[in-house]
Amino acid sequence: MTRPFVSALVILIAAVAAFFLFPYNLAFLTRILIMIVLVLSLDLVLGFAGIATLGQAAMYGAGAYAAGLFAIHVWADPVAGLLIGALAGAALAALSGAVLMRTQGLTLIMLTIAVAQICAEIANRARPVTGGADGLRGIRPGKVLGIWEFDFIGITGYWYALAIAGLVFAALFVIGRSPFGLSLRGIHESPARMEAIGVSVYRRRLAAYTLGGGIAGIAGALSAQITQLVSLEAFSFTLSAEALIMLILGGTGRLYGAVLGTVIFMAVHHTAAANDPFNWLFVIGALVLAVVFFLPSGIAALPTSLKRLAKGGRHAGS
Amino acid sequence: MSLLLNIAVDGIAYGMILFMIAVGLSVTMGLMRVVNLAHGGFALIGGALAHWLGRELGLPFLAAAALAIAGTVALAMPLERLVYRRIYGFGELQQVLATIGLTFLMIATVNLWLGSSLLAIPLPEALQRSIDLGFRQLTAHRLTVIVVGLAVILGLWALLDRTRFGIRLRAAVDNRDTASALGIDTGRIYMLTFALGAGLAALGGILGAELLPIDAYYPLRYMVLFLIVVAIGGLGSILGSFAAALAIGLVETASRYLLPDLATIVTFALVILFLALRPQGLMGRAS
């Protein structure tokens, strides 16, 4: 039982150390934390429950727009904004999931993309409310818990995002070990057998999709509050695809795999895009192919594979 | 009445384009069980080659189009041998990721080669001429699209129903292992079918450039559209893809005429509703 806590502690120490090591890159570090929350939500949906989706950005965007609009028109309190974002993400996931969870395979993947595109189209058309292609501007979040004000350097933003990411990580850690989490893993392994022992596969998958949507909504809300801007990019296919790539890179079904994959992907993105933003797609395309062909279980599985290799096991590296 | 006829003509032309591009996707998905998100990339490659041959080298339209399609096929064959063959055995998610990776590489390559601006394909005079249909003017190009689309479906039907290759292909779609046990070279069938699908995508990309403009981000922009045709038609069904492409062409054109602001939303909503009621598509077999 101690190993998971050790890895969680290592991640936490690394996050605190990053704050002091890279004081001039706080905006980028905060961006990593937000993406970690999004990728964790995808890990619940895809890694635990095995729902293949390429539209997690739909819920992220819904959370971002909901939190942004809430902050502008109703109440600027950040924590309340996060709750609204989570609600919006969960509501969209429940609504679309009610239909989507009836399908599988290619149809499911395609429909998840389609839902995100519909959302982008609606946000684009509802220009008076969302600002359309210009993005939603003028979000001024209040003090966090009434104490810490958002500053220009992004110190508050970093600790705020770290706290939320830590809470989401802990919540998913508990969920992953709960009967619900275990039943999701069971559904992932064999839906037919879970159905046979009396589990309503459809309802569990819908519940997981809704919960994942809520967490993605939190990620969107965080991004809206910290960058004080929501653009149509929040719904983009690229965001969904990148989140998926980060998850696969780290390894699905493992929480620290999601964290590791996000950090590595974002670091590569940061350096590659800084050198040559146009050819970033070359890097990411090659990266994806390399991971799929040579590291199918992700980087998080590397120690296990190496250990097996050292022992000379028959299934070394698999 | 003339509104209905307008919708019918434009919708059918649009549907034919969708059919040409998506039919290869449907067959490869039905045959190889590969979720190939990079399929639109072949339409992009075809369009980009046609643009380059027509604009930069000044070749006439027909020659440029034929060479571009041949070039796409020539690219698709080694790609199938070297990359896709390894992807067949993967899980669904790995297939999705690998083909997204390929899509990104295709986009980056075209971007590096021709830039990210619109890649127009010059049309010859003969195709730009208008033809009077009585109720409206129609460009010869659009009429060509409809005729070529019909020729493609007839050609595919003849190929699959009347030739030895077609029999083998259908056998491989029905049951890959048995077909291969009976001595059918499924590897070769896969490659030829894949190349055929890529060639048709290139044809559709070139002919459809007027409706679906070609630029580097083409494969991502229209990915859902092509996938919708396949999902609604049912995996592996050519007739299903044809019906689905025409239906989507008509629905989207109709909503573009009648509810211009909501066209995308209406189309997608109908698609989601349809697939919720019939997840296996029009002609797909229930799995």
pLDDT in tens, B214-240: 988 899 888 888 988 988 888 778 888
- What CA–CA distance (Å, rounded) separates B203 from B67? 11
Tokens found for residue B109: 């390559």
Whether the CB of B104 is below 8 Å from some CB of chain A: the reply is: yes
Residues in chain A closer than 8 A to B90 (CB atoms)? 292
Mark yes or no for CB contact B268/A296 under 8 Å. Answer: no
Cβ pair B35:A109 closer than 8 A: yes
Count other Cβ atoms within 10 Å, centred on residue A114.
27
Structure-block tokens of residue A181: 């989490």
Do the chains contact at B105 and A114, CB–CB below 8 Å? no
- What is the Cα–Cα distance from A140 to A75, expressed in whole angstroms? 10
Tokens for B93, please give them.
């998610």
| Average pLDDT over every residue of A264-271 | 88
The widest CA-to-CA distance across chain A, in whole angstroms, is 64
pLDDT confidence bin for A224, thresholds 50/70/90: very high
Q: Where are the domains of chain B?
A: 2-127+140-277
> What pLDDT was estimated at residue B150?
93
CA B278-B280-B284 angle, 5° bins = 125
Report the alpha-carbon distance of residue B150 to residue B143 in Å, rounded: 11
Nearest chain B residue to A54 by CA distance is B96
Query: Strand, helix or coil at B130?
Result: strand
The count of C-alpha atoms lying within 13 angstroms of the C-alpha of B169, restricted to the half-sphere facing its C-beta, is: 26
**Strand, helix or coil at B182?**
coil
CA diameter of chain B: 57
CB contact under 8 A, B265 and A118: yes
Averaged over B186-201, what is the pLDDT?
Answer: 90
Amino acid at B271: V
Instruction: Check CB contact of B191 with chain A, cutoff 8 Å.
Output: no
Mean per-residue pLDDT over chain B, rounded? 87
Burial readout A244-274 (b: 16 or more C-beta within 10 A, e: otherwise)? bbbbbbbbbbbbbbbbbbbbebbeebeebee
B137 forms beta bridges with B132
Name every residue whose Cβ is closer than 8 Å to that of residue A80 and which is 6 or more positions away in sequence. A70
Q: In terms of CA atoms, which chain A residue is nearest residue B25?
A: A106
- The shortest CB-CB distance from B261 to any of A99, A125, A281 is to A125
Q: State how far the Cα of A176 lies from the Cα of A307, in Å rounded to an integer.
A: 25
Kindly tell me if the per-residue pLDDT of A250 is higher than 70.
Answer: yes
In angstroms, what CA-CA distances link A117 with A68, A120, A154, B70? 20, 5, 31, 33
**What is the ipTM, given to two decimal places?**
0.81
Q: B217 to chain A, minimum CA–CA distance in Å?
A: 11
The SS3 of residue B148 is: helix
Q: How many CB pairs under 8 A join A and B?
A: 120
The Cα A304–Cα A317 span in angstroms is 8
End-to-end CA distance of chain B: 42
Q: What is the pLDDT of residues B42-73, one digit of tens each?
A: 999 999 999 999 888 888 888 999 999 999 99
- State the Cα–Cα distance between residues A131 and A127, nearest whole angstrom: 5
pLDDT of amino acid A316: 41
Query: How close, in Å, is residue A96 to chain B by CA atoms?
Result: 9
Q: Could you tell me the two tokens for B24?
A: 């290869």
Q: Which of A106, A236, A265 to mutate to test the interface with B (most CBs of B within 10 A)?
A: A106
Please answer yes or no on whether A248 and B93 come within 8 Å at the CB atom: yes
Higher local confidence (pLDDT), B283 or B154: B154
B182 touches A at CB < 8 Å? no
Q: How far apart are CA A108 and CA A265, in angstroms?
A: 26
Q: Which residue of A has its CA nearest to B111?
A: A278
Contacts of A280 (CB under 8 A, 6+ apart): A269, A272, A273
Express each pLDDT in A193-212 by its tens digit. 888 888 889 999 999 999 99
DSSP B212: S
Mean pLDDT of B27-31: 78
Q: Does B111 sit within 8 Å of A278, measured CB to CB?
A: yes
For residue A110, how many C-alpha atoms fall within 13 Å in the half-sphere facing its CB?
26
Which of the two residues, A274 and A190, has the higher pLDDT score? A190
Q: Do B94 and A241 touch (CB under 8 A)?
A: no
Task: Answer whether residue A312 shows pLDDT above 90.
Answer: no
In the predicted model, what is the mean pLDDT of chain A?
86
Q: Is the pLDDT of residue B84 over 60?
A: yes
Q: Which two tokens stand for residue A75?
A: 């109440």
Q: Which one-letter DSSP state was computed for residue B2?
A: H
B35 and A CB contact within 8 Å: yes
Of A296, A288, A283, A285, residue with least CA distance to A257: A296
CA distance B153 to B237: 12
Quote the percentage of chain B above a pLDDT of 70: 98
Sorted by sequence, the CB contacts under 8 Å of residue B191 that are 6+ apart come out as B77, B80, B81
Contacts of residue B273 in chain A, CB cutoff 8 Å?
A: 99
Q: How far apart are CA B124 and CA B272, in angstroms?
A: 40
HEC string of chain A?
Answer: CHHHHHHHHHHHHHHHHHHHHCHHHHHHHHHHHHHHHHHHHHHHHHHHCCCCCCCHHHHHHHHHHHHHHHHHHCCCCHHHHHHHHHHHHHHHHHHHHHHHCCCCHHHHHHHHHHHHHHHHHHHHHCHHHHCHHHCECCCCCCCECCCECCCCCCHHHHHHHHHHHHHHHHHHHHHHHCHHHHHHHHHHHCHHHHHHCCCCHHHHHHHHHHHHHHHHHHHHHHHHHHHCCECHHHHCHHHHHHHHHHHHHHCCCCHHHHHHHHHHHHHHHHHHHHHCHHHHHHHHHHHHHHHHHHCCCCHHHHHHHHHHHHHCCCCCCC
Q: How far is CA A62 from CA A81, A93, A216, A286, in A?
A: 12, 10, 9, 31
Compute the average pLDDT of residues A248-265. 87
Of chain B residues 197-256, which have a CB less than 8 A from chain A?
220, 223-224, 227-228, 230-231, 235
Does residue A1 register a pLDDT over 70?
A: no
Q: How far apart are the first and last CA of chain A?
A: 25
What's the half-sphere exposure (Cβ side, CA atoms, 13 Å) at B52? 16
The highest-level CATH class for domain B2-127+140-277 is: mainly alpha
Question: Which SS3 state, helix, strand or coil, does residue B58 take?
Answer: coil
Beta bridge partners of B132: B137
Angle at A166 between CA A160 and CA A167, to 5 degrees: 90
Confidence of residue A277 (pLDDT cuts 50, 70, 90): low
**Shortest distance, CA B205 to any CA of chain A (angstroms):** 21
- Sort out which chain A residues have CB atoms less than 8 A from B92's CB and list them: 52, 105-106, 109
Which candidate in A289, A294, A297 is best for mutational testing of the B interface (most B CBs within 10 A)?
A289
Classified as helix, coil or strand, B118 is: coil
pLDDT of residue A147: 76
Whether A237 and B275 lie within 8 Å, measured CB to CB: no
